[in-house]
A and B are shown apart, each in its own frame.
Chain A
Amino acid sequence: MAVLAEPVAAPLKRSSLWSRAFESRHFLGAMFMVPAIAILILFLAYPLALGFWLGMTDTKIGGVGRYIGFANFISLSKDSVFWLSVFNTIFYTVFASIVKFAIGLYLALLLNERLPFKSMVRAIVLLPFVVPTVLSAIAFWWIYDSQFSIISWVLIKAGLLTHYIDFLGDPWNARWSVVLANIWRGVPFVAITLLAGLQTISPSLYEAANLDGATNLQRFRHITLPMLSPIIAVVMTFSVLMTFTDFQLIYTITRGGPINATHLMATLSFQRAITGGNLGEGAAISNAMIPFLVAAILLSFFGLQRSRWQQGGRD
């Protein structure tokens, strides 16, 4: 019996620890995650932790702070300007978000219809979103100027007013003015996102509802709204978060004035921390925004949980 070629005894040479590590799924898996984790730590976790830490110190620009516990928060709780900024932020967020949603939904429904020059209209709707915020804020600043305001000028020329409106000099005028600017800026995002949602609704559902005897209003109520609700939840979460943390518009148009009437928590934080040099106090104001934001996120998280009809089949 012929002996088959004897299998060459595999040289059981110990491969190096390094090369063996690279054959292990677990080690490789961890290695591939390193870049992502590094980015998250560097740009998310570290700044957040630093912010938390700063809020608990009395750090000033140019100085090394020391830990003072919740002293910043205690002094803020007695600070009427801080509480005014909390009120302003909530006012700003609630009104701007509601109106942005209403106008955005209206525009989305309009753009979803057969419309002449549809793509052009769509482009125009997107414009406020495309223009850099600071640029549009400066434009609004001029529109609201106490001497050169085009609104006042037109109204006076039309004989509807006798004197210029003091848009940014009066606390309530100023609040409504910045809300309006924020609405103008935020509507395109809501409109375009809701439009994308509308376009996923099958036209045959509307045809079926039409044959079932639904009026336009009933089709909106029974088909459009329920089908759009998941998108509405996402859009409104983003809209609320972006409005609540707004800084650019306010800082460019009013810098928080007059007499802190338009100070949002973000602008107040910046003013105390950078302009005023009290980094610790500014960080504490920023940290005070977190409970509000977490509440908004939790609300949408529970609202976003896929309703039963969206879940897959189970028998």
Chain B
Amino acid sequence: MSSVQIRDVRKSFGNFEVLHGVSIPIEDGQFVVLVGPSGCGKSTLLRMLAGLENITSGTISIGDRVVNNVQPKERDIAMVFQNYALYPHMTVGENMGFSLKLRNAGSDEINKRVKRAAEILALSPLLERYPRQLSGGQRQRVAMGRAIVRDPQVFLFDEPLSNLDAKLRVAMRTEIKELHQRLKTTTVYVTHDQIEAMTMADKIVVMHDGIVEQMGTPLELYDKPENQFVAGFIGSPAMNFLKGHVRVNGVATFEGPNGVKLPLKSAPAGSDGKPVVYGVRPEHFTIADDGADAEIVVVEPTGSETQVFAKVGGEQVVAVFRERHQFNPGDRVKLKPDPTLVHLFDEATGKRM
């Protein structure tokens, strides 16, 4: 186990820069999730950490050692690939013991460690099978087993759950988190799925277009997104955004499209009349008499909650209710955001106000 320091790392393919100076401190034993839309550079960063891509500038250190010029096999890291990259001509046991075999470990030692990893991952009955004879979830576990057997400094996961079906993905999510709590090995996990990030991470790093938008614990990111991108990326269904202006006439209000007025707890200093984006999460709407007029467009019950799509001032917003309201399309209701949970962003810069 060890800490990882990523300092001002840049990556260019030819003249095209894909990472524009990324710095991420990772503490010993932390579970860090790199999350962002495709093409944001998160996988490239992970591959640089693994040593599969060169570092154009900046430094990456594992423990106290700068690893920029260290071969992948000398970095003492284990990686779980998106397609698992299991060796098809080796049994599960051989796959898991391959790295030990290459290091000339004795067969007793290999057997012992493979057996222990197999027990942790419930793979013991499958050790003699070939990867083709396994289901997706089992292959996924073998790939993790291969990483565990090595007892590395750092685990790297590259979108490991994206090839699994939805139900299995949820189960494996828990399994990986449990495994981390048990082994306490520093882990860097790449995903594009913000729910995976929220549920598993000690620390989330939201990346976008080759930069880090925000780092923090899942709830920090949810409660205090630093900019509009993070606000829209974290949370499902996504946060509603309405463009408009702040008006301070005794009480601070937000004046949105077509004269819609929405409540604010307080106006940030000097924001009177400024163009802003008003952000409210779907779960922070209530039905109240002093709310804004809304016309219901679509109602989607999921059982535990109901998603309601409605027009407010001509803009579509989504609200989520755990109560079972009887709504029908075309109904007119009054929607009120909780003013203490509203986010304001500068329209020009997208920064939180």
Task: Enumerate chain A interface residues (CB-CB to B < 8 A).
Answer: 202, 204-205, 207-215, 218, 222-223, 226-227, 307-315
Contact = CB atoms under 8 A, between A and B. Distances in A.
B52 A214 contact: no
A311 B132 contact: yes
B133 interface: yes
Interface residues of B, number: 27
Contacts of A202: 83, 85
B73 A309 contact: no
A313 B132 contact: yes
Contacts of B319: none
Nearest to B149: A212
Given A205-B87, A223-B87, A212 B133 contact: no
B87 to A, nearest CB: 6
A214 to B, nearest CB: 5
Given A309-B130, A313-B133, A211 B50 contact: yes
Closest 7 CB pairs of A and B: A212-B99, A208-B85, A204-B85, A213-B73, A313-B133, A226-B89, A309-B130
Interface in B42-69: 50-52
Query: How would you classify the secondary structure of chain A's contact residues: helix, strand, loop or mixed?
Result: helix
Nearest to B73: A213
A301 B179 CA distance: 46
Nearest to A308: B130
Contacts of A314: 133
Given A205-B87, A213-B73, A313 B81 contact: no
A212 B89 contact: no
Given A204-B83, A211-B72, A309 B88 contact: yes
A227 B88 CA distance: 8
Contacts, number: 73
B78 interface: yes
Contacts of A223: 87
B269 interface: no
B102 A213 contact: yes
Contact of A212 (B52, B83, B98, B132): B98
Given A202-B85, A227-B89, A311-B132, A210 B72 contact: yes
A210 B98 contact: no
A83 B42 CA distance: 69
A211 B79 contact: yes
Given A208-B146, A226-B89, 9 more contacts: A204-B83, A207-B52, A207-B81, A210-B52, A211-B77, A212-B98, A227-B88, A309-B89, A309-B130
B73 A212 contact: yes
B103 interface: yes
A103 to B, nearest CB: 25
B90 interface: yes
A225 B98 CA distance: 16
Interface in B189-238: none
B85 A213 contact: no
B297 to A, nearest CB: 45
B134 interface: yes
A261 B327 CA distance: 98
22 contacts: A204-B81, A205-B87, A207-B72, A207-B79, A210-B52, A211-B52, A211-B77, A212-B150, A213-B73, A213-B99, A214-B73, A214-B102, A222-B87, A223-B87, A226-B89, A307-B89, A309-B90, A309-B130, A309-B131, A312-B132, A312-B133, A313-B133
Nearest to B83: A204
A146 B89 CA distance: 52
Contacts of B131: 309
